[in-house]
Amino acid sequence: MGKKINASAINGTAGVPDQNKIPDLYAAHVSPGKVDLYRKYGLVLVPGKRGGCILRSIDGKSYYNCHCNGGVFNLGHRNARVIGALTSALRTYDIGNHHLISGPRARLAAMLADTMPRGLTQTVFGVGGGEAVDLGIKLARGVTGRHEIISARGGYHGHTGFALATGDKKYRERFGPMAPGFRQVPFNSTEALKRAVSAKTAAVIFETVPATAGILVPDRGFFTEAQRICRAAGALLIIDEIQTGFGRTGKLWGFEHFNVTPDIVTLGKGMSGGIYPISATVFHERFAPFFKKDPFIHISTFGGSEVGCQTAIEVLSISREQKFLDHVLRMGGLFKRGLQEMGEQSPGLGLQVRGLGLMMGMKFKDETTALFLVKVLFDNGIYVVYSGNDPSVIQFLPPLIITEQEGDRVLRRIEKSFRQMAGTK
Ligand SMILES: Cc1ncc(COP(=O)(O)O)c(C=O)c1O
């Protein structure tokens, strides 16, 4: 660890890089901690070729990507339509200049407005999800003149400034004092929310289905009531759709399941099509004067790059199609039934399946079972991760373009893994 390795030193015969040495180079110059961890648990995966649902490691093993980096690969790896949109954008555009007026930004923002509840017509673009959340919180504080922000215990909104302050202690305690005014409440508890929201509250921010907390699907009435509580106190409701957006739950926006109109919505991950990073903070037009007064109060040089906007326009066109959303719901149903049946066949695992559409979680009887299964699944060619704030839950987010045939293959591999785990073979 820490020992410098020259990039050319990993070259093997005839100057061709020896792929097996990449983890060493990565450990020396990027992240020794990750390499140590993955080596320790036999989970070393250096992605090589990839396409659709499949991620191939450089040593030739194939994995079904059933995490998709929290929705980045909703449309699969290297989706041809998305690549086509980027390639074609590159003939005309580049990153663009955030000082100037931009056609691609204007078109994408108008398209987003068309898909959002009435009034949510305004968009500011960013590069990553944390940035979109930071801006949502800045805006809420700016327009309300209040500073208190309430978020969910176990929730996750990113590792940037204000986003980090909404999250759990373990992510922030080593970075000194955070911005004041942040507090957490249990998710899905209207009673706790009622007690926490006051005349000092600028905003309440929740993920629609908190992923890091363990894929928690709230009660049907939760968001309606949360919105009522916020409105009564003059606080704003920010909904983080960074994982649940772009069709992941079987609706274009996850909050559409819950009869709620957020004041601010944050988007990221899947918006990129897995090809070009971009994020967005969409907000109600009644807050537009805030930016009108000072259009340079928030700046992101690369936010909403023009080639990124052109790419995201294609992503949104694909994701909003009813046929596409129906497919997500159908596949979600197939996986849910399949996994439940397998759970019943291996009762020792204590499996509970939960989720919305293809935003799914497999909760096992304890953390050890889930962690062990991540490895068994990996060895059987299924790539998944567990929830950081509840490791007894494996996040199961296959690409939304997965076919029934591929779904069946995935289920067979999971079945095999469950049997191996249960020791029944
Ligand atoms: C719900 C949610 N919000 C925000 C973020 C932060 O996004 P980014 O990593 O792009 O900053 C994430 C990332 O995992 C997330 O899952």
Domain boundaries, the chain: 48-78+322-422, 80-319
Contact in structure between 45 and 383 (CB atoms under 8 Å): yes
32: left (phi over 0), alpha (psi -120 to 50) or beta: alpha
Topology (CATH) of 80-319: Aspartate Aminotransferase; domain 2 (3.40.640)
Supply the residue whose CA is at minimum distance from atom 2 of ligand 1: 157
CATH class of the domain defined by 48-78+322-422: alpha beta
- What pLDDT is recorded for position 2? 55
Supply the residue whose CA is at minimum distance from atom 8 of ligand 1: 129
Test site for ligand 1: of 166, 242, 248, most ligand atoms within 8 A of the Cβ: 242
Contact in structure between 241 and 279 (CB atoms under 8 Å): no
Q: What totals of helices (H) and strands (E) does the chain contain, helices first? A: 15, 15
Q: pLDDT band for position 3 (50/70/90)? A: confident
Using the Cα atoms of residue 99, residue 104, residue 105 and residue 107 in order, give the sign of their dihedral.
positive
Say how far apart CA 101 and CA 295 lie, in whole Å. 12
Sheet with 148-152: list strands edge to edge: 122-126, 279-283, 264-267, 236-240, 201-207, 148-152, 182-185
Q: Output the CA 269–ligand 1 centroid distance in Å.
A: 7
Over residues 357-396, the pLDDT tens digits come to: 999 999 999 999 999 999 999 999 999 999 999 999 999 9
Q: pLDDT band for position 256 (50/70/90)? A: very high
Supply the residue whose CA is at minimum distance from atom 7 of ligand 1: 129
Over residues 271-311, the pLDDT tens digits come to: 999 999 999 999 999 999 999 999 999 999 999 999 999 99
Contact in structure between 102 and 89 (CB atoms under 8 Å): no
φ/ψ of residue 158, rounded to 5:
125, 175
Contact in structure between 59 and 68 (CB atoms under 8 Å): no
Q: Which residues line ligand 1 (CB under 6 A)?
A: 70, 128-130, 133, 156-158, 207, 211, 240, 242-243, 268
Q: pLDDT band for position 15 (50/70/90)? A: low
- What pLDDT is recorded for position 128? 98
Q: Output the CA 350–ligand 1 centroid distance in Å.
A: 29
Tokens, residue 160:
């940037």
Q: Output the CA 289–ligand 1 centroid distance in Å.
A: 28
Burial (CB < 10 A; 0-12, 13-18, 19+), residue 228, is middle
Q: Output the CA 158–ligand 1 centroid distance in Å.
A: 5
Say how far apart CA 104 and CA 182 lie, in whole Å. 36
Q: Note the pTM of the prediction, 2 decimals.
A: 0.96
Common-topology check for domains 48-78+322-422 and 80-319: no
- What pLDDT is recorded for position 1? 47
| Of 75, 73, 105, the residue nearest 302 (C-alpha) | 105
- What pLDDT is recorded for position 14? 64
| Of 240, 210, 162, the residue nearest 387 (C-alpha) | 210
Test site for ligand 1: of 125, 157, 159, 212, most ligand atoms within 8 A of the Cβ: 157
Output the average pLDDT for the chain.
95
Q: Is the pLDDT of residue 92 over 50?
A: yes
Q: Is the pLDDT of residue 33 over 90?
A: yes
Test site for ligand 1: of 67, 125, 151, 156, most ligand atoms within 8 A of the Cβ: 156
Which residue would you say has higher pLDDT here, 8 or 315? 315
Q: Output the CA 195–ligand 1 centroid distance in Å.
A: 27
Test site for ligand 1: of 69, 266, 269, 386, most ligand atoms within 8 A of the Cβ: 269
Q: Is the pLDDT of residue 230 over 80?
A: yes
